[in-house]
Amino acid sequence: MKDIFDKTRTFTRAKEAMALGLYPFFQPLADSDATTATFRGKEVVMIGSNNYLGLTTHPKVKQAAIDAVERFGTSCTGSRFLNGTLEFHLELDRRLARFVGKEAAIVFSTGYQTNVGTISALVQRGDFAILDKDDHASIVDGCFLARGMSQADMRRFNHNDLDSLDYTLKRLPEDSGKLVIVDGVYSMGGDIAPLPEIVEICKKYRARIMVDDAHSIGVLADGRGTAAHFGLTDEVDLIMGTFSKSLASIGGFIAGDADTIHYIQHHARSFAFSASLPAGNAAAVLAALDIIENEPEHVQRLWDNAEYMRAGLKRLGYDTGNSNTPVIPLIIRDDYRTVLAWHALIEEGVYTNPVVSPGVPPNSSLLRTSYMATHTKEHLDRALRALEVVGHNLDLIPETASLETT
């Protein structure tokens, strides 16, 4: 007779990596000021964080969170349906809607719950969710929940491939509901969705559009995201964002027209059956929004740092794919060499994120690097020097590549 736990005893891949001292996941960081951290007893430059604007350590953000905890305590201990709604939540709903240029918004407790709840609430029997193949796992899981709850269907098109999107939509029943969902900035590749062309294709087939702006809020268009970047705020139906990147907290939101948000508020199970965002987290987001709106220099420094690193990585000959944002992958294409590179960079005092299969397709493994407004030139130069040393030692870059190359 089959034991459902058999799979747990035959899963050995992670333990084998641990035995070799090359297991890169669930590794604890000690002290951190966001740009640097203490890892295994040594200081490392952090180029693996999603803290794009460096606001998690901003004095105004920290004080806002402290003040909210002093007033409301550490948890709301209830769903927003019942006892878990504070004035902070309503203020944050309004501020986020205004920030991204929509009628209304609703705050969820995590970004993952935002996607799962929104998609499963909207996509029902006879409807189709149409996903880019590189969309975040939370989007895929939202579609799985929609399929399990109401037999909704899902289709996927090749990454940023407009012909593939057109072909996929053309094959669907004309009278079906259609929701096309894309990432604004793709979290692994660092490339931007071709939103103007996607909008035109969606109009052709009467499909609605949802953009996951987890990695775009605080980054594109003075921090307002992908739709604003392309001047298409009114053409995009739903804008999703998270707080655990540029907004210095945890949580997520969905923004759109008032009727749609009202519907999601009453039908998203991950919203209804989860405790609400603690006041300290909500207050941190409000403070971060104040800073983004009133101090645009943070976004500008982020882009200055990203372009400085992009130029340095190009001189070294790294394959950075199609990245054109502060997320810059170093594509290695071999799982073992990727983990070796991660380990070697740690020894050189630089922290990156190794991404191997099945997190990415086979032969697509990479080191994910991302940059922050609060990185100094000293931090970035230290990272580049380490990447030059490790790149040569592991034959990841051309033998003649050098930071001195003009």
| pLDDT block averages, 10 residues each, the chain of length 406 | 93 92 91 89 95 97 98 94 93 98 98 97 96 96 91 95 98 96 97 98 98 98 98 98 98 98 97 96 98 97 98 97 97 96 97 91 94 98 97 95 78
CA distance 34 to 398: 32
The total number of structural domains that make up the chain = 2
Do 70 and 17 fall within a single domain?
Answer: no
Query: Considering 262, 294, 326, which residue would you say is the last residue of a domain?
Result: 294
Give which of 251, 161, 149, 250 is closest to 197, Cα–Cα. Answer: 161
What is the structure's pLDDT at 405? Answer: 59
pLDDT of residue 207: 98
401 in a domain, yes or no?
A: no
**120 & 149 share domain:** yes
**Which residue among 251, 270, 294 closes a domain?**
294
Residue 331 burial (CB < 10 Å; 0-12/13-18/19+)? buried
- CATH number of the domain bearing residue 379: 3.90.1150.10
Other C-beta atoms closer than 10 Å to the C-beta of 282 total: 28
Is there a single domain that holds both residue 227 and residue 258?
Answer: yes
pTM over 0.75: yes
For 76-126, list the strands marked E by DSSP: 104-108
